[in-house]
Amino acid sequence: MTPVRQKHAAVKTVSVSGMKPVLHMTGLVLLSMSGIMLFPMLVDVFYGSRDWQAFAASAVVTALIGSTLLYGSRGSLKAGFTLRQAFVLTPTSWFGVSAVSAMPFFFSEYGVVSGSLANSFFESVSGITTTGATVISNLERAPPGLLMWRALLQWVGGIGIIATAIAILPALGIGGMQLFRTESSDRSEKAMPRVRQIAMTIGSVYIGLTVTATLVYWLCGMRLFDAIAHALTSIATGGYSTSDLSFGAWNTNGIQWFAALFMLSGTVPFVLYVRFIAGDYRAFWDRQIRTLMIFLAVVVGSLGSWLALSGQYGVEESFRHAAFNVVSVVTTTGFATTDYTLWGNAVIGIFFGLTFVGGCTGSTSGGIKIFRFEVLAVMLRGHFLRLIYPRGVFPRFYGERPLDSDVVGSVIAFFAVFFLCYSALTIALMGFGLDFLTSASGAATAVANVGPGLGAIIGPAGNFGPLPDGAKWLLSLGMLLGRLELFTVLVLFIPRFWRG
């Protein structure tokens, strides 16, 4: 090939036909979503709500879009996926699901979402990204199908992000996730040789945890409908509730303690469930889990002791509120038992910091993730040791595995881009006239996929409904960015990415 032709090949752009596998997979996902819409439709029919029509119309439109994409891209999966196509598929499929999932809210006859594109899309994105921020108030009066749809969105988004975190992000090397490429495949494949078996086992565990949570909530005093909805959102670490008071509306038979356990079960790497079922009974003695549990124990113990000693609650109530709300924020679920912003300015600062932490990789939780803080700690330790012993050699290990420069660089880049996006979103929200606390906590809770923010408007006792539409669009973008680990979306804006 001549130099001229080589140069021409270097700048060749990606063709439409090259994206057909992406369209094909997106079509399959949309067809699946159209089928899922039938469940809340039947719920509305059962309860006699006219909102079933919104789900019927949305299911038909979604099925038509999905079928069109499938027909136009038939036969395109024979060659598999390239790296570039995998990058495009992730945001395309998540945005497509968010868009079609907004239709039932838009067509609904209920409240603030009816006929509002900004509110409907915000609620849909918040659901599918398992963020849990809401624009809807008076949830007790909302149509049952709409409440079930919100819960189902979070449940589907939870299993979706598990699949993305295990199958896609490690291969793309996003934010240090390549560290788990071998761990999530080799160890699992030794236990169960085929990928399909791993996927089926994870799906079975996910369903099993959801059914267990439903039964426990029901036996603890919830109506069966509420128990199902909260079980779906607990395991998905989503946080959508059927009451404006969230879990503060239920406090019988230890239900809040059980809810904290179920939230924790969703923030565990689901690959570990596969290994445990296959006979590795030390699977949960995992570095991420140990670090998370120690961190939670310190924060809950300190906060619970302070609440008890300050006389705000009794001993059991102090530790229950502390445990539930700290676990809820760290796992990025977003449930609440009370308005913890009334506990004092210091506590507000603590919860603001907890917003960024997140759970384990390969789970349903969002946030920065525990393993990145561990990698950062290893890197800082080595740096300080080199300051003391300039000629010393200090290998970097994560558990028993060496940390190469590629992983460390990816983690540092993630921290930099995360806080850059967070800062930009905070400033942009302030441009809509919002105060600093609302803007800063709103940006944090969106990018970290937590749910409630801080302050009088979007705090645990409020919602995002009063915000300007422009702010809701920005927050929707922030939620998608955070859920997809930032780079999978931002890389699409680099012109070189689209060149062959």
Looking at the predicted structure, is the pLDDT value of residue 492 above 90? no
Looking at the predicted structure, is the pLDDT value of residue 49 above 50? yes
| 137-193 tens-digit pLDDT | 899 999 999 999 999 999 999 999 888 877 777 777 778 777 676 444 343 334 344
Does residue 48 fall inside a structural domain? no
Does residue 108 fall inside a structural domain? no
For residue 6, the model assigns a pLDDT of: 40
Query: Rounded to 5 degrees, what angle do the CA atoms 348, 353, 359 make?
Result: 125
CA dist 222 and 243 (Å) reads 12
Does residue 478 fall inside a structural domain? yes
Does residue 429 fall inside a structural domain? yes
Looking at the predicted structure, is the pLDDT value of residue 16 above 70? no
| 197-238 tens-digit pLDDT | 778 889 999 999 999 999 999 999 999 999 999 999 999 999
| 230-263 tens-digit pLDDT | 999 999 999 999 999 999 999 988 999 999 999 9
For residue 262, the model assigns a pLDDT of: 97
Does residue 476 fall inside a structural domain? yes
Q: How confident is the model at residue 76 (pLDDT cuts 50, 70, 90)?
A: low
C-alpha gyration radius of the chain: 23
| 316-356 tens-digit pLDDT | 999 999 999 999 999 999 999 999 999 999 999 999 999 99
Domain count, the chain: 1
Looking at the predicted structure, is the pLDDT value of residue 123 above 50? yes
For residue 403, the model assigns a pLDDT of: 82
| 369-404 tens-digit pLDDT | 999 999 999 888 888 888 888 888 888 888 777 888
Q: Are 209 and 262 in contact (CB under 8 A)?
A: yes
CB burial class (10 A; 0-12, 13-18, 19+) of residue 306? Answer: middle
For residue 181, the model assigns a pLDDT of: 64
Lowest mean pLDDT among 21-30, 32-41, 204-213: 21-30
CA dist 26 and 100 (Å) reads 12
For residue 425, the model assigns a pLDDT of: 97
> CA-CA distances (angstroms) from residue 218 to 294, 338, 379, 478?
31, 21, 47, 35
Looking at the predicted structure, is the pLDDT value of residue 496 above 60? yes
For residue 500, the model assigns a pLDDT of: 59
Does residue 2 fall inside a structural domain? no
pTM over 0.75: yes
- Region 37-44 average pLDDT: 96
Q: How confident is the model at residue 302 (pLDDT cuts 50, 70, 90)?
A: very high
For residue 197, the model assigns a pLDDT of: 79
> CA-CA distances (angstroms) from residue 226 to 115, 217, 282?
26, 8, 35
Query: Rounded to 5 degrees, what angle do the CA atoms 188, 192, 194 make?
Result: 100
Does residue 462 fall inside a structural domain? yes
For residue 495, the model assigns a pLDDT of: 85
Residue closest to 32 by CA, chosen among 6, 1, 4, 70: 70
| 83-97 tens-digit pLDDT | 788 888 889 999 999
For residue 278, the model assigns a pLDDT of: 86
Domain of 426, in residue numbers: 389-487
Looking at the predicted structure, is the pLDDT value of residue 473 above 50? yes
Q: How confident is the model at residue 13 (pLDDT cuts 50, 70, 90)?
A: low
- Region 30-43 average pLDDT: 96
Residue closest to 324 by CA, chosen among 280, 259, 389, 267: 259
